[in-house]
Amino acid sequence: MRGLSQDQTKGADDCWIRAASHEDVRAMTRLLQELFAVETEFEFDEEKQRCGLEMLLDSPTAGIWVVDRRGWIVGMVTIQLVVSTAEGALSGWVEDLVVSSAYRRRGLGRALLKSATNWAKRQGATRVQLLADSRNVPALMFYRKQEWLQTNMIALRCAAAPKPTGRQIPLVFPAGVRRADHPFLNRSGASGFLSVQSERES
C-alpha cells in the first residue's frame, strides 16, 4: 500500500485513523462480519474475508484504514485503484466502510472515508466511487450528507461458480419509510444496488 503513512489522524474519544497492518486482520474480519449482517447480499465467510484482507494489504494499488481506539479496532474502510477509460486516469473503488455499532455517530465514518479518498487523489485518481445497498437507508443518508452523487449506473455481476440463479432480491424498507422517501432510489426502483461517486476535489 503506497503512501499510507501520512494518514494517521486523531478522531473522537481517543480514536485514531491509521493505515491497517497484517496484525489487524482478525479485528477487521470481525468488523466485516458485522457489516455483512446488514448487507445481506453477501455471506460472511471468515476464511474468504481474511484472504481478501491479506491480498489488499499486500497490494501496491490498494489501501485499508482503521479506527484504532486504545488498541481496539472499531472501524475500517478499504479502497482499490482501477483504470477508468472514461476518465483517462485512475479511479478509486471504496468498499467495506463500517464502524462498530457502539461507536457510530461520532464522525468516524466520515474520517475513514476522507482518509481513503485523500489517498486515492494522491495516487492520481480523478474520481472515487462505491456501490451502496439500496435497502440500507442509513448508509445512503450518510453518503448523501457527505455530498456523494447518485449515478444512473446499476451493478451487475456474474460468478464463475456456482452458476448465477438470476434471483431478484426485493427491496425492503424500514418501518415508516416509503419508496418515495428513499434518499437515492428513483420511483422505478429497479436496482438492488446503486453506484455512488464523488468527483475529485481541487
- Report the distance separating Cα 196 and Cα 115, nearest Å: 18
Cross-strand partners of 150: 196
Q: Residue ranges of the chain with pLDDT lower than 50?
A: 5-6, 187-196, 198-202
Segment 82-122, tens digit of pLDDT:
999 999 999 999 999 999 999 999 999 999 999 999 999 99
Residue 6 and residue 18: Cα distance in Å, rounded?
9
Q: What is the pTM of this model?
A: 0.76
Cis-peptide into 164, omega within 30 deg? no
Kindly list the structural domains of the chain, giving each domain's residue range(s) and its CATH number in brackets, ordered by start.
4-199 (3.40.630.30)
